[in-house]
A = this chain, B = another copy of it.
Amino acid sequence: MAFEEEQKIFNSFVKEKGLKQSKQRDDILLTFLKTEKHLTADELHSLVKKKNSSTGIATVYRTLKLLCECGLSSELRFGDRAVRYEHFYGHEHHDHLVCVKCGNFIEAVDPEIEKLQERLAKKVNFSLQGHKLLMYGVCSKCKK
């Protein structure tokens, strides 16, 4: 595992905030980093429990919040109920094309779309900080 960089970011952030390190947070961070998916808190909790079955779901929620705050993770909301978390640090920004039939999604980015969003924001005197673009439709597999 070569997540020293991410771990350093997290530990520095925790210290900066006057918080303390813990075994649970380390486990949760490592499990999150090892799993290159868009997980819900519950799914991540299941994975973490394989290593340390006593870890509580509340701590997973608390840690995910910290991961988002320090820039290692980012929230994602598809149509379904639960929030999903994806890797943020060291990952290019991308948008998602979600298939309404199978639920799978494709990650993609169009630099021109990104630029035009800036232009659109300027037009209404809005300081753009970020965006979430979800495209819905049918993926190639589901088109039969």
Contacts and interface: CB of A to CB of B under 8 A. Distances in A.
Interface string A48-66: 0000000000000000000
Interface residues of A, number: 33
A136 to B, nearest CB: 5
A62 B53 CA distance: 41
Contact of A110 (B97, B110, B116): B116
Contacts of A116: 110, 112-113, 116
Interface stretch (A4-12, A38-46, A121-129): A121-129
Contacts of A131: 133-136
A64 to B, nearest CB: 16
A22 interface: no
Give the top 4 A-B pairs by smallest Cβ distance, nearest first.
Answer: A125-B140, A127-B138, A128-B137, A129-B137
Interface of A: 77, 97, 99-100, 106, 108, 110, 112-113, 116-117, 119-121, 123-140, 143
11 contacts: A77-B77, A97-B128, A110-B116, A113-B117, A126-B137, A130-B136, A131-B134, A131-B136, A132-B132, A132-B133, A133-B134
